[in-house]
Amino acid sequence: MSLIVQKFGGTSVGNTDKIKAVAERVLKCKQQGHQMVIVLSAMSGVTDQLTGYAKAVQKVPDLREMDMLLSTGEQVTIALFAMAVKQAGHDAISLLGDQVRITTDIMHTKARIKNIDTELIRKHLNAGKIVTIAGFQGVTEEGDITTLGRGGSDTTAVALAAALKADACEIFTDVDGVYTTDPNICKSARKIDRISYDEMLELASLGAKVLDIRSVSFAKRYKVPLHVRSTFTETEGTWVVEEDKIMESMLVSGVTYNKNEARITIKNVPDQPGVAAKIFLPISDAGIVVDMIIQNTTTGDLTDMTFTVMKNDYDRALLLLDKIVKDIGAESVSGSEDIAKISIVGVGMRNHSGIASTMFHILSKEGINIMMISTSEIKVSCIIEEKYTELAVRALHDAFALGKENLPVEEQDPVPAQY
């Protein structure tokens, strides 16, 4: 008997018919003899509706009250889900973050989980019930309701799986797994069967939307085998697991892109100690996140500084920099929104040299100029002109042969926690 945590997102429980379908799917799994903990999001559209109400009564909604408001969405879904399971003939019980004692810090609307008490869940599981738990929400030690921010229900599911030492945590969504690249722009994109936590973290932070980065990092820390799969099919999705030898033998696992960044360049910055802080402190104080930063080699006592910010922070950043440029005595600030970040990710890079240069070579062969480069142990990212995005993705995907299964199936380790 395994203990499995399953999480279904808002589109999977978007109306009462879908909730009934999810109940039946869960029941099938339960009838195979597993203990089931089901984490649900709010019905799709509900969170937006509630946010609309909030903005109608308070210009900048109070964060504590926002959590009080938004947490109702998941409460509705779990109650209806428990009813649907009971209608299908099995016992079930719904529990709130507060009832489970999913304690968090007090950072309303983006709280972090500190502890989960598993006693009540275990009691109901041992009584044979399907236990459904509201995603996205927790409670402070003082008893105030908190929410976990974007992707919070994924985090709830992974944290519960870790606390319960579950055999697997399955994230059901509207896609059937993690792909080697975006299937919409590259026909040969292939679903990845197994990927390491680190690769998934890079993919998530580089633009792949399928999993929330916090939940992957949680899964990595507590070694929770994560299974991303589709609500609407029975096929296996992608397992996110600990790195193994087979993964290491693959040079690149995926190609990803992100069109949401903009590039800013400050020309002729006086190359003095402390000048970088003078530029970036006011920017971070304004809540603007800077991604890549590149400082060109100094010519004389002047240097150029180039970095990227999110597109929706671009105008605000330029405005701030106009003043900063004068203060530090630099020449000018300029930038472009027509850029894209193309990245290749793979744990194999650690032991293989030449991956980065292969990437540069392929891009240059296609006549694509590289504006900025950033690397980590397991990824290489290049900033290029936005119009070349699709061409670059396809060229890299082909060059690293990602459309083909890298190994025959019989050589692969069995999927973990194969229940």
Residues making contact with its own copies (CB under 8 A): 16-17, 19-20, 23, 50, 53-54, 56-59, 61-62, 64-66, 68-69, 71-72, 75-76, 78-80, 82-84, 86-87, 93-94, 96, 98-99, 143-145
**Structure letter (DSSP) for residue 405:** -
Closer to its own copies by CB, 106 or 407: give it: 106
CB of 241 to its own copies, least distance (A): 35
CB atoms within 10 A of CB 300: 7
Shortest CB 389 distance to its own copies, Å: 41
Helix (H) or strand (E) holding 131: strand 130-134
Q: Which residue has the tokens 């530029």?
A: 279
If you ran DSSP here, which 8-state letter would residue 350 be given? G
What sign does the dihedral 132-137-141-145 (CA atoms) show? negative
Closer residue to its own copies (CB): 140 or 303 = 140
Give the residue with the Cβ less far from its own copies, 72 or 260: 72
Nearer to its own copies, 67 or 182 (CB): 67
- Nearer to its own copies by Cβ, of 44 and 188: the residue is 44
Minimal distance in Å, beta carbon 377 to its own copies? 45
Q: Mapped to the 3 state alphabet, what secondary structure does 220-268 carry?
A: HHHCCCEEEEECCCCCCCEEEECCCHHHHHCCCCEEEEECCEEEEEEEE
Residue 79: CB minimum distance to its own copies, A? 4
CB of 164 to its own copies, least distance (A): 19
Cβ proximity to its own copies: between 22 and 251 the closer is 22
Token representation of residue 134: 């509201």
Given the complex with its own copies, which of 68 and 415 has the nearer CB atom?
Answer: 68
Instruction: Return the amino acid letter for 9.
Output: G
Please, which residue, 15 or 32, has the CB nearer to its own copies?
15
Collapsing DSSP states into helix, strand and coil, what is residue 388? helix
Hey, what are 410's tokens?
Answer: 């019989």
Q: In the bound complex, what is the minimum distance in angstroms from residue 30's beta carbon to its own copies?
A: 17
Smallest gap from residue 83 Cβ to its own copies (A)? 4
303 burial type by CB count under 10 A (0-12 exposed, 13-18 middle, 19+ buried): buried
Minimal distance, residue 64 CB to its own copies, in Å: 8
Decide the pairing of beta strands 168-173 and 3-8: parallel
Strand runs (DSSP E) across 110-232, as ranges?
Answer: 113-116, 130-134, 137-139, 145-147, 168-173, 194-196, 226-230
**Measured from the CB of residue 230, what is the shortest distance to its own copies in angstroms?**
22
- List C-alpha distances in Å: 248 to 196, 211, 401: 10, 22, 16
| Residue (77 or 343) nearer to its own copies, CB | 77
Sort strands 332-336 and 339-345 into parallel, antiparallel or unpaired: unpaired
Q: Enumerate residues 6+ apart whose C-beta is below 8 A from 60.
A: none
Closest to its own copies by CB, 68 or 302: 68
- Name the residue among 88, 164, 106 with its Cα closest to residue 133: 164
d(CA 351, CA 12) in angstroms, rounded, equals 40
Q: Which residues have C-beta within 8 Å of that of residue 408, sequence separation ≥ 6?
A: none
- β 302-310/194-196 pair status: unpaired
**Smallest distance from the beta carbon of 109 to its own copies, in angstroms?**
13
